[in-house]
Chain A
Amino acid sequence: MSSSANPRSRKTLQCTSAATTFQKAFGKELRRRVVEDREPYAIVQADTPHELFHAMDIPIITNQWWSAYISAKQLSSRYFDAMVDKGYPANSCKYCSLGLACTLANEPETAPWGGLPTPTIMVARLTCDCIQHVFGQWSDALGSEFFPMEAPAWTEMDPNWFAHARSDWERVYQPDRIAHMVREMGDLIAVLENRTGRKFDEAKFHHLMEQINVQEGYVWEAAQAIGKAHPCPVSIGEQMTNTMIPQWHRGSDWAVAHARSFRDEVMERIEAGLGASSNEKMRLMWIGAGVWHDPGFYQALEEDPGAVFVWSMYMPFAGPAYIRDLKDKPMEALASRIASMNETLHLPPWMSGWMVSEAKRCDIDAAIMLLPPDNRLSQSGNKLTASALEAAGVPVLMVDADMVDAKIWDHNRMVGMVAEFLKEKELA
């Protein structure tokens, strides 16, 4: 079923190559530390406090990054099939379970890095019903220890949360939720110190938090400029790369410097009037995780009919989700960052409130929304967000596809569907 007429995205920024080069080198270094040197390391979900691990110099493999890595090597179908052979149903949630599938397949000859060695710990926030089961079984299969973190209910519902997240984070993210996460992070630090012998350095952590604010500040500044610029200077593929790669290394000297160069390059392109497309006629919003197995999808309609994806969540999320006035309470500030990362992207009123505001800010003509058929968490909030966008005058196309499972993706069909939708809405 999978076909991709345009498997690679076009790169225009120098810093994009710099980021991918860095990440490749980092991947090698991570592999050396984890596989060859057998350093203690952790497998963690994306919405967990990576900052603690960075401050303790404990290598982490992020589940979502590992999934994307496996997927990019065209191995997802193979491992999901192996999981079905072991008695799991074929409709199990794909995004979080590809790493487990790879481990269960037990094929060192095909697995990236020959498969992962036993991590010291595995950490996940329980934002859906399945993640504790996936991580529980994965940690059993790897002979590791699972450290779950609660995702408490959020009853302070402010649709304009993004406007107050930086300075009024205690109210926005709810004091009891923040306190709970601070306590869990304290427990996690104690476990990490005990298992690895490495100490948590508060001064280093505080510095890291300050540096993250600087880094995400550059990204936020660039995101603001991109939203206003006509034509859009940078494709969302390059926005993602230059946001996400530094975000995996957030607060490091390289990440801060990279975010600054990215900001500078974006500003230069805007100043020069350069666009991602030479024929921008309409501006699109991509809602959902990136389609990692077909990055060329986003640029397929740029020149004809001039449909440019201007927005995806990764870059603009940097501001409201990451930047925090520390108020000499860095652990609490971190808790406020982590405690709602997933919720703001998948639940009303946070998701819908933010996306409507972003659509207005970026002068969006239409939105394309990913609706993975087997993943409630990724689906969640989509229809209410779609209705809010439509009420705000932004037409929405929902696409049934999965971000890592290439089986139900057909490049030409998907591009055709978007083109048809734009015609129907008389945008093209």
Chain B
Amino acid sequence: MIASAGPNLPLDVLRATGAYAGPLPIDLDKNVTTADAWMESKFAPWAPLALQAWADGDYDHLDCVIFSRADDTAQRFYYYICELQRRGLVGGPKALIFDIAMIPRASSLERTTQKVRELAELLGVDDVALENAITSSKQSAPATSPDHPVCLIAGSPMPDHRLHIAVQAAGFAPIGQTLAEYWCEGGPVIEGGTGDPAAAIACHLHEGATGPRSFGDRSALLRERLARTQARAAILWRIEEDEAQVWHLPAERRVLEESGLPHLVMTRRDWFARDGAIEEISQFLTGADI
């Protein structure tokens, strides 16, 4: 079985193997002990949990984990695991890195294409299987209209639905990504029937609008999400460890202000929401003038 860790991965290649187990499961209640001695404080909060789980053998049922270079925590995690395995300090599945290159330049696109081909070859996936995987990915569930006004939760991917529950309790329909959903994000539909499915996947990845290494316009993305979800309120929630997207905070604030929507900006927050975030959200939405 294969798991993935990080955004902007060629999920269709993984699905085409028939052995894709989904995103690396993160046990939020994991007690981090030994991993603290190996990993520094500024890693995304999922990383020490996953590293501890790796050390504890929780991932031993997996054959390999594919890490993304499009996320600094994920790519460093890959090097850490390789080193810990080399030193004999952990066992577990084989670690692989998908070396995506996202700079809007021909050389980066070609490198990404080459890396998609290499991964497909390594995993024994041919073009027919890839094409089938692309076709299957297009068949997504139909969108449903929420019964309540939408509150968009933008910013850092959340650990689970704990913030969603707070939003729901205030009478709103929450829309926002958990970490697992973010890692499995498909984005725009990949073109099928091109005769070169690896190149089509690479093109899609290279142009990805989300993820810390994307060259997409964050303000435009937020504006588009507000419009697409028909949000009536918005929460911009960023965690302490977010060091990439946070550079767009001033621009995102402007988007929210220009939208005229009631909004709450929460920065440098605890990923586990142990910092009163749930109460603040409840208070904000209760008082929101919708």
Known: A87-B253, A89-B268, A132-B215. A374 touches B42 (CB 8 A): yes
Q: What band does the interface of chain A fall in when counting residues whose beta carbon is under 8 Å from B?
A: 35 or more
A241 CB to closest chain B CB (Å) equals 29
Known: A88-B250, A89-B268, A379-B40. A130 touches B244 (CB 8 A): yes
A window 121-145: CB within 8 A of B: 126, 128-130, 132-134, 137
Residue pair B246, A180 in contact (C-beta under 8 Å): no
Confirm or deny: B86 has a beta carbon within 8 angstroms of a beta carbon on chain A: yes
Residue pair A89, B249 in contact (C-beta under 8 Å): yes
Complex contacts, B83 vs chain A, CB 8 Å: 157, 348-349, 352, 384
Complex contacts, B42 vs chain A, CB 8 Å: 373-376, 379
Confirm or deny: A296 has a beta carbon within 8 angstroms of a beta carbon on chain B: no
Confirm or deny: A163 has a beta carbon within 8 angstroms of a beta carbon on chain B: no
Complex contacts, B213 vs chain A, CB 8 Å: 126, 129, 132
Complex contacts, A347 vs chain B, CB 8 Å: 76, 79
Of B79, B80, B99, B247, which is within 8 A of A134 by CB? B247
Complex contacts, A92 vs chain B, CB 8 Å: 243, 246-247
When each residue 159-189 of chain A gets 1 if its CB lies under 8 Å from chain B and 0 otherwise, what string results?
A: 1000000000000000010001001100100
Residue pair B249, A183 in contact (C-beta under 8 Å): no
Complex contacts, B73 vs chain A, CB 8 Å: 376
Q: What band does the interface of chain B fall in when counting residues whose beta carbon is under 8 Å from A?
A: 35 or more
Residue pair B107, A126 in contact (C-beta under 8 Å): no
Residue pair B107, A89 in contact (C-beta under 8 Å): no
A152 CB to closest chain B CB (Å) equals 6
* Docked pose: A347 CA to B82 CA in angstroms: 11
Residue pair B215, A155 in contact (C-beta under 8 Å): no
Of B39, B69, B84, B107, which is within 8 A of A153 by CB? B69
Known: A133-B244, A134-B247, A150-B101. A382 touches B40 (CB 8 A): yes
Residue pair A130, B97 in contact (C-beta under 8 Å): no
Confirm or deny: A32 has a beta carbon within 8 angstroms of a beta carbon on chain B: no
Known: A126-B213, A153-B69, A379-B40. A88 touches B79 (CB 8 A): no
Residue pair B107, A129 in contact (C-beta under 8 Å): no
* Docked pose: A176 CA to B111 CA in angstroms: 9
Complex contacts, A149 vs chain B, CB 8 Å: 103
B98 CB to closest chain A CB (Å) equals 8
Residue pair B103, A150 in contact (C-beta under 8 Å): yes
A window 77-111: CB within 8 A of B: 86-93
Of A86, A130, A387, which is within 8 A of B243 by CB? A130
Residue pair B243, A93 in contact (C-beta under 8 Å): yes
Residue pair A129, B212 in contact (C-beta under 8 Å): yes
* Docked pose: A88 CA to B249 CA in angstroms: 6
Residue pair A380, B76 in contact (C-beta under 8 Å): yes
When each residue 37-52 of chain B gets 1 if its CB lies under 8 Å from chain A and 0 otherwise, what string results?
A: 1111111000000000
Confirm or deny: B210 has a beta carbon within 8 angstroms of a beta carbon on chain A: no
Of A87, A93, A383, which is within 8 A of B250 by CB? A87
Closest residue on chain A to residue B253 by CB atoms: A87
Residue pair B103, A133 in contact (C-beta under 8 Å): no
Confirm or deny: A313 has a beta carbon within 8 angstroms of a beta carbon on chain B: no
* Docked pose: A86 CA to B268 CA in angstroms: 16
Confirm or deny: B135 has a beta carbon within 8 angstroms of a beta carbon on chain A: no
Confirm or deny: A34 has a beta carbon within 8 angstroms of a beta carbon on chain B: no
Closest residue on chain B to residue A386 by CB atoms: B37
Confirm or deny: A300 has a beta carbon within 8 angstroms of a beta carbon on chain B: no
B168 CB to closest chain A CB (Å) equals 28
A123 CB to closest chain B CB (Å) equals 12
Confirm or deny: A148 has a beta carbon within 8 angstroms of a beta carbon on chain B: yes
Q: Which of B38, B238, B247 has the most CB of A within 10 A?
A: B247
* Docked pose: A381 CA to B268 CA in angstroms: 24
* Docked pose: A128 CA to B44 CA in angstroms: 13
Of B108, B212, B244, which is within 8 A of A150 by CB? B108
Complex contacts, A88 vs chain B, CB 8 Å: 246-247, 249-250
Complex contacts, A226 vs chain B, CB 8 Å: none
A window 306-333: CB within 8 A of B: none
Complex contacts, A130 vs chain B, CB 8 Å: 212, 243-244, 247
* Docked pose: A280 CA to B102 CA in angstroms: 51
Known: A129-B71, A376-B42. A348 touches B80 (CB 8 A): yes
Confirm or deny: B105 has a beta carbon within 8 angstroms of a beta carbon on chain A: yes
* Docked pose: A377 CA to B83 CA in angstroms: 17
* Docked pose: A347 CA to B86 CA in angstroms: 14
* Docked pose: A150 CA to B100 CA in angstroms: 10
Of B38, B246, B253, which is within 8 A of A384 by CB? B38
A198 CB to closest chain B CB (Å) equals 22
B window 59-82: CB within 8 A of A: 69, 71-73, 75-76, 78-80, 82
Confirm or deny: B138 has a beta carbon within 8 angstroms of a beta carbon on chain A: no
Complex contacts, B247 vs chain A, CB 8 Å: 88, 92, 130, 133-134, 137
A window 287-308: CB within 8 A of B: none
Complex contacts, A87 vs chain B, CB 8 Å: 249-250, 253
Closest residue on chain A to residue B103 by CB atoms: A148
Confirm or deny: A371 has a beta carbon within 8 angstroms of a beta carbon on chain B: yes
Residue pair A153, B99 in contact (C-beta under 8 Å): yes
Query: Which residues of B approach A to under 8 Å, CB–CB?
Result: 37-43, 69, 71-73, 75-76, 78-80, 82-84, 86, 97, 99, 101, 103, 105, 107-108, 111, 114, 212-213, 215, 238, 240-241, 243-250, 253, 267-268
Query: Which residues of A approach B to under 8 Å, CB–CB?
Result: 86-93, 126, 128-130, 132-134, 137, 148-150, 152-153, 155, 157, 159, 176, 180, 183-184, 187, 347-349, 352, 371, 373-377, 379-384, 387
Between A and B, 19 residue pairs with Cβ closer than 8 Å are A88-B247, A88-B249, A89-B249, A129-B212, A133-B248, A137-B247, A152-B69, A152-B99, A153-B99, A155-B97, A157-B79, A157-B82, A371-B41, A374-B42, A376-B40, A376-B72, A376-B241, A377-B72, A383-B40
Top 8 A-B pairs, shortest CB-CB distance:
A133-B247, A129-B244, A87-B250, A348-B83, A379-B40, A376-B42, A129-B212, A153-B99
Query: Apart from A379-B40, A382-B40, A383-B40, what are 17 other A-B pairs with CB-CB below 8 Å?
Result: A88-B247, A89-B238, A128-B72, A129-B72, A129-B212, A129-B213, A129-B244, A130-B212, A133-B247, A137-B247, A153-B97, A157-B83, A180-B101, A187-B107, A376-B40, A376-B76, A377-B72
